[in-house]
Structure 1
Amino acid sequence: MSETDVATHAFVKPLLVRFKHCDPAGIVFYPRYFEMINDLVEDWCAEGLGLSFGEMHLRDGLGVPTANVECRFSAPSFLGDTLTRSLEVTRLGRSSMTLRIRFAGANDETRLQATLVLVWVAKGEGGKPAPIAVPPAQRAAIVRFAAPDSVIEGVT
């Protein structure tokens, strides 16, 4: 998928690779990519879905923990690179959603592709998280980020 393929449905956010992301050789240390992915999801929730992690967790007692993650590292990223991070929804179920993430560098070179499954949860009995239906306001917002090949359950 190239930048031209990332249509208006994708949530896109640039990121400057900083010293804190890199190993001594100036190459992004792979676990840092997972932090960058989570930062993108957190920004998407706040800016795209209208519900920040602070509001979600502290005010509403909700969360979207990652149930599954798959990641392919295609090319290295280096200190000083600017990465274009994109997020699109490929599946939306009753309580879970699948996200497709792509990080691209200069000349739209793919650096990373990831697939995440997130589950909407609320504090249940004894404070233990329990799956819930995606809240209606967020469900309506999530659909705006659906990829052309997505599966949206409950939509006719």
Structure 2
Amino acid sequence: MSEAEVAAHAFVKPLLVRFKHCDPAGIVFYPRYFEMINDLVEDWCAEGLDLSFGEMHLRNAMGVPTANIECRFSAPSFLGETLQRSLEVSRLGRSSMTLRIRFSGANDETRLQATLVLVWVAKGEGGRPAPIAVPDAQRAAIVRFAAPDSVIEGVS
């Protein structure tokens, strides 16, 4: 799916590839992509869901840890390039959501595609995280980023 096709419903944010992201050859070192993905999720929560990680973790004692991640690297990215990062929701359940991430470079060339499953948790008994229902305000916001083929499950 091209950048133009996802723009209507996806959260899109550019990122300049910096020296800190690269190996000595000037190519993005693959573990840095996982940091870039997490940064995108954190920005989406703050800007798209109106719940920053600071507020989520420190004030509300909850979080959205990654339960599963699958990633495909399609082409290298290089120092100095600007990548377009897009995030869309493919599934929203009672306490979890599945996100599709795509990084593209020049000419909309796919560099990376990832699928993440995040689970909403709060401190439970003994301070251990326990799944919770997605908060209503965030559920309403999440739906705005749903892909056309997404599955949105009701709260039950």
Question: Could you state the TM-score of these two structures normalised by the residue count of structure 1?
Answer: 0.98
Q: Distance in 2 between matches of 1:124 and 1:143?
A: 27
Q: Distance in 2 between matches of 1:86 and 1:54?
A: 22
Would the aligned equivalents of 2:22 and 2:79 in 1 still touch at CA under 8 Å? yes
Unaligned 5+ residue runs, structure 1? none
Shift of residue 34 of structure 1?
Answer: 0.1
Q: Report the counterpart of residue 64 of structure 2 in structure 1.
A: 64
C-alpha change, 1:73 and 1:146, in structure 2 (3 Å) is same
1:19-58 Cα deviation digits (max 9, x unpaired): 0000000000000000000000000000000000000000
Question: Could you state the TM-score of these two structures normalised by the residue count of structure 2?
Answer: 0.98
Shift of residue 7 of structure 1?
Answer: 3.2
Aligned CA-pair RMSD: 1.2
- State the percentage of identical aligned residues: 90
Moved over 2 A (4+): none
Q: Distance in 1 between matches of 2:118 and 2:142?
A: 12
Q: Helix, strand or coil for the counterpart of 2:58? A: helix
Shift of residue 6 of structure 1?
Answer: 1.0
Shift of residue 18 of structure 1?
Answer: 0.0
1:69-98 Cα deviation digits (max 9, x unpaired): 000000000000100000000000000000
Shift of residue 155 of structure 1?
Answer: 7.9
Q: Distance in 1 between matches of 2:108 and 2:75?
A: 12
Alignment of structure 1 residues 44-83 onto 2, 5 Å? 44-83=44-83
